[in-house]
Amino acid sequence: AQSVTQLDSHVSVSEGTPVLLRCNYSSSYSPSLFWYVQHPNKGLQLLLKYTSAATLVKGINGFEAEFKKSETSFHLTKPSAHMSDAAEYFCVVSGNNQGGKLIFGQGTELSVKP
């Protein structure tokens, strides 16, 4: 069975400093992994996805994530935070046996201080 754990419910950074949002997954199959972002009162938007190609995945708005099978991790990073990055971030796993279902983490709220 697939599962995903986001290790921090809330992360606060200063504008211009690096962002690290941590995610660990569990999967019996070769997983597809995603990061989605949700801005206040908005729907979810795909940031990036890993589907067994390059382990370092680049997404929109300068975000990237690295798939590390040995650590079962898929942490999201950005070199320099911007005020507009303040949002809720969800790590998501999907497996071949899920019929298209996605398993969502509980979310990490990112705050960016001026």
Partner 1 sequence: DAGVIQSPRHEVTEMGQEVTLRCKPISGHNSLFWYRQTMMRGLELLIYFNNNVPIDDSGMPEDRFSAKMPNASFSTLKIQPSEPRDSAVYFCASSGGDNEQFFGPGTRLTVL
Give the separation between CA 8 and CA 91, rounded to whole angstroms: 11
Of the candidate spans 11-19, 39-47, 53-61, 73-81, the one that interacts with partner 1 by CB under 8 A turns out to be: 39-47
Instruction: Give the distance between the most distant pair of CA atoms in the chain.
Output: 44
Of 39 and 113, which CB lies nearer to partner 1 in the complex structure?
39
The stretch among 16-24, 44-52, 55-63, 72-80 that binds partner 1 (CB under 8 A) is 44-52
* 43 touching partner 1, by CB under 8 A: yes
Task: Extract the runs of DSSP E, i.e. beta strands, from 1-114.
Answer: 3-6, 10-14, 19-21, 23-26, 32-38, 44-50, 56-58, 64-68, 73-78, 87-94, 103-104, 108-113
The 49-88 contact track toward partner 1, x by CB under 8 A, reads x-x-------------------------------------
Work out how close the CB of 75 gets to partner 1 at its nearest, in angstroms, rounded to a whole number: 20
